Amino acid sequence: DESPNDPESIQYVSYDCSELFVKGADRPFFADRLFANRLVNHVDALRTGAQQNKIYIFDGPHGCGKSTFLNNLLKRFEQYANMEAGTRYETVWRLDRSQLPREDGSETASILESLLQTSRSEKRQFDIVRAMAKHKANSPYVEVPCPCHDNPLLMIPKAQRRRFLDELFDNNAFKYTLFTDKAYEWIFHDLPCTICTSIYDALITRLKSPAKVFEMVYAVPYHFNRRLGRGISVFSPGDRPIKQVIQTNEILQRMINQLFSDSNQVRYIHSSFAKTNNGIYALMDIKSHNIERLIELHNVISEGLHKVEDIEESVNSLFLAVMNPEDKKNIKDFQSFSDRIEYIQILYVLDLNTEVEIYKNIFGKHIIDSFLPRVLHNFARVIISSRLNQKSEALLEWIGDPKKYSLYCDSNLHLLKMEIYTGYIPTWLSDEDRKRFTAKLRRKIIAESETEGKKGFSGRDSIKIFNDFYSTCAREDKLINMSTLCNYFTKIRPDLSESIPAGFLESLLRMYDYTVLQEVKESLYNYNEAQISRDIQNYMFAVNFEQGSKETCPYTGELIEITDEFLWGIENRLLGGDVTDERRAEFRRDTQRIYTTSTLTQELIIENLPVTQTKLYGELHERYVYTLKEKVLDPFLKNENFRQAVKDYGQESFKTYDKRIREDVMFLMNNLTQKSRYTEQGAKEVCMYVIDNNLAAKFSNR
């Protein structure tokens, strides 16, 4: 949960679906937070038994990854079902000939002979079958696998199961779960297939003892194999229906008949649905032959039964399908079927972190090294903006007037909605709005995602656009910045702007500019109180001497070379960078006058105060901190040396700059790399971006 301690949390959870849909997949599917929550909620409902007798249709626009999702889900299901942790068991009857009437083989031979045809090839096939029949006839057992994959526990008569299990298990937590949890209801409610039921009835008639009957019941792992259609069957629209609707085993049927001396007592016939009983039956796209298959499922899903000649066959499969929006017309005439369909929407990605993961997976993780921080995610924001509804009633109810967040958000509040969809509540929201972000409002906003992601750039479109953008704009000597991104959508590919909400790019750029400006300012802030104190004490002392002299400050003990550049560096923090030389000279004279007439003679000598407690020190400290925080960039913007020093940082020429400038630039670069995740090149380029675009002036009145 993104906010576990928040009383207004709606349990909007960050699920890691990579093990399910990404790792080891030939074609990864990236589930964004919205879809992952929808999917898990449906699965939870399935487990509690709340949604039975339904077909689950994954519905969404073209290019959203529906088929990829289902293929990956089925692959993981097959892998899990064949692991020890996911093993299910099915019934095999091992009928003991010694306890049942023996067959003489004549009936088998007569049936086999009747199958013989005149052609030589068919004669050879018959010889092989007859040899197999003789081999089986010599075995002391006749093995009859349950074609419906019934669990062996179902062989216990339904009326006796609860008592049987009650006596079998001790009174513990598992036993309580077994008797109360919806997930185990099938043990007490389900019936075995008609084949197993008829075998049980035939055996109890012959043996007169349930114990002897159960000695012939064996449990074997139910092995899933999609390629063989065992446990999982997937049908594409072009797959033609099988002609042989009823399936049987002639040789096994003959052996069963001989054992029980009655050809009608146990009929080993079943439909194709038996192969996926207790498994998954899936349809890829509801069109062509899959329309017929879906219609055929109507009675199967409604009643859980399927008629095979005069036998009722139970069908207990998980029915899944994938559908495009235009295919809904194929089932619109079957209104009685509509309440049996549960739609699960797979929409275009609305979570910007997931969108970025898609790019990294397809083009390689190295692509992130070609972007300044935030720019790749801003590309994802542009793509996602095309998928959102223009107006959000829920956000307007919450925020009211979007203009109050114009520095951080667009007029449609799309940027805010994207943050909410990723599970992040922005820090730039006011305390009042954060308090008003109630669970009711959160559910309203998340509910709007059900109607979004159906238009705009599809998943395939976004990959093509990113490929074009990256190949066009990526350079080895320069990182991709916001100017490059905006230029691509407005000048290189203006056709794409038609799908992007009006004014969104401008708002995105403004949000980015403001953010990086604060980032650079924060990285220049020197909150080292000791350094601030040393600067002020050195300045108070230095203004009393001629330039060019070297003096040791008695307050700090530092040897100072008193130059105009030295004084200028500290004055930038005291006055800002936009003052005239006359103002600087006046400030130095005033400081010297106050120091000599009041600070030195009165406070330091007579009152014996520490220099840090003098009035002049206090005024200079207050001015220093204010300028440092509010106008930290001002001194550097008009100083070409500072800009050039940033540009030369890391090169030999950087050593030629004044010590103070070098220290400022190094301090800035270290903070950007350590606190803001920039590379050295990225730190240099973002500083150049801020300086060259004069962002400090752009937001000076904010």
Determine contact, residues 288/236, Cβ cutoff 8 Å.
no
As a whole number, mean pLDDT of residues 61-73 equals 92
Phi-psi region of 453 (alpha: psi -120 to 50; beta: other; left: phi over 0): left
Determine contact, residues 285/237, Cβ cutoff 8 Å.
yes
Indicate the range of 166-175, 294-303, 483-492 predicted with least confidence.
294-303
The closest alpha carbon to 248, from 181, 171, 182, 195, belongs to: 195
Q: What is the pLDDT of residue 85?
A: 92
Is the pLDDT reported for residue 231 higher than 80?
Answer: yes
Q: What phi and psi values does residue 615 have, to the nearest 5 degrees?
A: -65, -45
Q: What percentage of residues in the chain have a pLDDT greater than 70? A: 91
As a whole number, mean pLDDT of residues 601-617 equals 91
Indicate the range of 74-88, 170-184, 624-638, 671-685 predicted with least confidence.
624-638
Distances (CA, A) of 41 to 18, 50, 171, 440: 18, 12, 32, 18
Q: What is the pLDDT of residue 103?
A: 46
As a whole number, mean pLDDT of residues 242-270 equals 85
The predicted-structure confidence for 306-342, as pLDDT tens digits, reads as follows 788 888 888 888 999 999 888 888 777 666 677 788 8
Q: pTM for this structure?
A: 0.76
The predicted-structure confidence for 529-564, as pLDDT tens digits, reads as follows 888 899 999 999 999 999 889 999 999 999 999 998
Give just the sign of the alpha carbon dihedral 569, 573, 575, 580: positive
What three-state secondary structure class fits 606? helix
- CB neighbourhood size of 431 (10 A): 7
Determine contact, residues 50/184, Cβ cutoff 8 Å.
no
With both helix axes pointing from N to C terminus, report the angle between 504-524 and 375-385 in degrees, rounded to the nearest 10: 160
The predicted-structure confidence for 201-225, as pLDDT tens digits, reads as follows 999 988 989 999 999 999 999 999 9
Q: What is the pLDDT of residue 336?
A: 66
E strand map for 556-650: 559-561
For residue 7, what is the enclosing H or E element?
A: none
The pLDDT mean for the chain works out to: 86
Distances (CA, A) of 225 to 90, 94, 279: 15, 24, 10
Q: Which residues pair with 345 in a beta bridge?
A: 59
E strand map for 15-126: 55-59, 89-96
Q: What is the pLDDT of residue 102?
A: 54
d(CA 305, CA 278): 13
- What is the DSSP track for 497-514? GGGSPTTHHHHHHHHHHH
Q: Look up residue 323 and give its DSSP letter.
A: E
The angle formed by the CA atoms of residues 617, 623 and 629, to the nearest 5 degrees, is 130
